[in-house]
A and B are shown apart, each in its own frame.
Chain A
């Protein structure tokens, strides 16, 4: 199997005029301070270049791929190219057996969390120009690899469901009495960040504690519980029920505030902060003054 792919001459990086209309690079370069200039500089460096990516390959069902290895691809750089774009190019042009999940390409579906240069990131939300080359692309750590970049997400989903991620009511009113349940703007603001989770699993994969304790709920599930526990529209008894789940041995108290999850979450959810707040809620619930 050849690992070193020649880059087709015709696929040289584009001076694609069609792109200009859509992205307006001139305006882009003028808008910001250091950050934008920095990006522009890196992009300029890569213009007309190829990007060297090293992609993890493994397939227990194919002879010759049962031993994990890295394949090298040289992909022509394009302005705005993401890690996902690069692996898609490698798949479409060089090796159609290269396997990974993706769907929305806009950080909404949560299917393309990879381990890129040693950090959990969404392929579609990570600019190639921001990364050191060669870019190492691996499946998420601490999950079983099904094939290439595809990992088994079952355990992650199980943990998410453990916290009962749905709105609950003590007793649902009769059908004719059902009405819209409004949330105050303040309460909406409170749970806003927690509601952004796209179930990508990056946080769980980054967590040292989750790696060692298979039963630990993990940051995403706890954040999901936070979304409901902090929602004023649920009854007090249901909040208590939620806190009882969270304060169990493999719940919030496993968190050692390493902040790894918060560092990698592509939706910038303050996960550690939410876990810490639930720890305090759990303590408050159990404190009695008499």
Chain B
């Protein structure tokens, strides 16, 4: 629709404080879906070092000769930032799956009147699972 003047973002995302549950669910679902796709590419890049690893290629790490694949994984897992990103990835994946199940229910016409509650439930469950995962992801890493 052509506007006779520009109301700008105020009409759309400038109103983010007034968004309701379903709108937030939509935004988070898009965001998490694309983050997962992005992760897929980094995941493939890391895994592909196993091809060199299988061919017996090695690299020197701290005066020690290590298999390339092992060295890559140990190097990455030794970084605090990577561990933190792993927690984030888990959060993103868990939310996408839980809200994905919610969306499947919505598509089947089940429980539409509780769609806001199921979104909040997805958020809370995601938070709980993420917090519970922190010990697993962050043990044995030095900052």
Contacts and interface: CB of A to CB of B under 8 A. Distances in A.
B12 A211 contact: yes
B107 A272 contact: no
Interface string B11-52: 110010110111101100000000000000000000000000
Nearest to A210: B1
Interface in A264-290: 270, 272-273, 276-277, 279-280
Given A259-B115, A276-B112, A141 B7 contact: yes
Interface in A216-238: none
Interface in B104-134: 106-109, 112-113, 115-116
A260 B5 CA distance: 25
A258 B116 CA distance: 10
Contact of A257 (B4, B106, B116): B106
Contacts of A119: 18
B142 interface: no
Interface of A: 58, 60, 68, 117-119, 141-145, 152, 155, 208, 211, 214, 256-260, 262-263, 270, 272-273, 276-277, 279-280
Contacts, number: 70
28 contacts: A58-B5, A118-B15, A118-B17, A141-B7, A142-B11, A143-B1, A144-B1, A145-B4, A152-B1, A211-B11, A211-B12, A257-B106, A257-B107, A258-B26, A259-B22, A259-B115, A259-B116, A263-B20, A272-B22, A272-B106, A272-B112, A273-B109, A273-B112, A276-B106, A276-B107, A277-B109, A280-B108, A280-B109
Given A68-B5, A211-B11, A258-B23, A270 B112 contact: yes
B107 to A, nearest CB: 6
B interface: dominant SS: helix
A155 B4 contact: no
Contacts of B15: 118
A55 B10 CA distance: 15
B139 interface: no
